[in-house]
Structure 1
Amino acid sequence: MSSFDTTLNNLGINRTTSTPTPSPSASGQLGQSDFLKLMTAQLKNQDPFAPVDNTQMVAQMAQFSSVAGISEMNSTLKAISDKLAGTSQSDALAYVGRTVLTEGNVAFGRTAGGIAGAIELDGDATQVNISIQSADGQVLKNMQLGPQSKGTVEFDWDGKTDAGADAGNGPFKVVVTAAQNNSAVTSRTLVWAPVAAVSMPASGTPVLTLPGIGQVPITAVRQIG
């Protein structure tokens, strides 16, 4: 045993131990309480006519305080993370049976007939057209929305074809074209879909299963019905 270890033992600080579970002292590192014991011993035994320079002592005290603060902050953040994870799962399960607005081009008809949705435009458009089609690509209804500003544009179809007939319950395919004069404007179609199931992977966000669309992350939901 070194003279340093002997000094530590005399102060009641054990740096080595045979206990299987390591502690800060057992791992060869001094903890905050160990440091305070050493500091107290130093103050008791220093020469009052030639006191030790306290610059390094103050710096070490600040370092220990910083490490202790970070440790406590990590514990707090871990607790918050665990709480949020639990809340996220319970919230995700609440989606089952509800309808959500998300990116997609396949929609099923409402009980009252027709479908509703929205279009996200990346720029202003002088003309926005919506083509409602059957599953096999047959055009059922053409809707011209005219000039629209950049952003989200909602639409609602009553379920009647251009000929005035009832189009049924679908599924329907929604095709959107948008242009600013003769230049195409990038757009995304948003449709309402019922949530059939929710899966929660070991890591990452919960995933919703939507009929006609497939699996989408919960973060892709724009609105809940």
Structure 2
Amino acid sequence: MSDFDSTLASLGIGRTGSAAQQAAASSNLGKTDMDQNDFLQLMTAQLKNQDPFAPVDNTQMVAQMAQFSQLAGVTEMNSTLKAIADRLNGTTPGDAMQWIGRTVLTPGETAYPRTDGSLGGTLDLGADATDVNVSISDASGRLLKTVSLGPQSKGSIDFEWDGSTDSGDPAGSGPFTIHAAARNADGGAVKVTPLVWAPVTSVTLGSDGSPVLTLPGLGQVPVSAVRQIG
């Protein structure tokens, strides 16, 4: 197979010929994008296989080189933008260290009250529901309070508890266990995930080098699980 045929085959461009040539060309069928290497190979093949009696016009060559330069510039710019986006979306160990002493909202069922005894959290509701309830139990599993939130739409729902039991007595300092249940109009269960606030006591590095937070009652939590910082 000639260099020109090889170049065409690498780009998924078929030419009539032997079965081997057809197989090589079909191996890249479906390829729709050209990178810098493809562009350079195609231009080189064009020069090597040009008609010596009708060589490529200089104007055309300059235009092709300009396209190659533009392609290289766009590729480099895309790489730079991706690096910037990764940096903005990522959390470095130094960033996470500043979270120590602050509270974060993360999926979990163990929660501690505020200094005034009240407690707040969020529910992540997977679909619209006609009835949503939050149950709070003590460390021994004894039910302390059920908070009815009524009908709710899909998405994040905040809830509050004043820290008193059904009998009106203070529930204490916790920790408390949060359970949530939701049903739709047909009586079917709707997926619901409780999110609780917890203080960050320390930050360590995971096996992959990403920061991991230590939260009372929840243990080791990756920063990717944090929904909000208090």
Q: TM-score range by the shorter chain?
A: 0.5 to 0.7
**CA offsets per residue over residues 117-151 of structure 1, 9 Å max, x none?**
01111122121111110112111112222222222
Whether 2:103 is the aligned partner of 1:114: answer: no
**CA offsets per residue over residues 13-55 of structure 1, 9 Å max, x none?**
xxxxxxxxxxxxxxxxxxxxxxxxxxxxxxxxxxxxx998547
> Matched residues in 2 for 1:216 and 1:133: separation?
23
Whether 2:204 is the aligned partner of 1:199: answer: yes
Q: How many residues align?
A: 176
Larger Rg: 1
Over 3 Å counting, the alpha-carbon distance change for 1:186 and 1:147 in structure 2 is same
Q: How does 1:31-50 map to 2 (within 5 A)?
A: none
Whether 2:153 is the aligned partner of 1:149: answer: yes
SS in structure 1 of the partner of residue 92 of structure 2: helix
Question: What is the Cα deviation at residue 93 of structure 1?
Answer: 1.6
Question: What is the Cα deviation at residue 186 of structure 1?
Answer: 0.8
Aligned 8 A contact 1:103 1:189 in 2: yes
> Matched residues in 1 for 2:147 and 2:82: separation?
52
Q: 2:109 aligns with which of 105, 108, 114?
A: 105
**Which position in structure 1 is the counterpart of 2:193?**
188
Q: 1:134 aligns with which of 130, 135, 138?
A: 138
Structure 1 length normalisation: TM-score?
Answer: 0.65
> Matched residues in 2 for 1:127 and 1:85: separation?
36
Structure 2 length normalisation: TM-score?
Answer: 0.63
**CA offsets per residue over residues 84-105 of structure 1, 9 Å max, x none?**
5997333222111100111111
**Which position in structure 1 is the counterpart of 2:173?**
169
Whether 2:132 is the aligned partner of 1:125: answer: no
Over 3 Å counting, the alpha-carbon distance change for 1:76 and 1:150 in structure 2 is closer
Give the partner amino acid of 1:172.
Answer: F
Q: Over aligned residues, Cα RMSD in angstroms?
A: 3.2
> Matched residues in 2 for 1:195 and 1:91: separation?
13
Percent of aligned pairs with the same residue?
59
Give the partner amino acid of 2:195.
Answer: L
Q: Which runs of 4+ in 1 moved over 6 A?
A: none
Give the partner amino acid of 1:192.
Answer: W
Over 3 Å counting, the alpha-carbon distance change for 1:201 and 1:60 in structure 2 is farther
Aligned 8 A contact 2:91 2:223 in 1: no
Q: How does 1:1-16 map to 2 (within 5 A)?
A: none
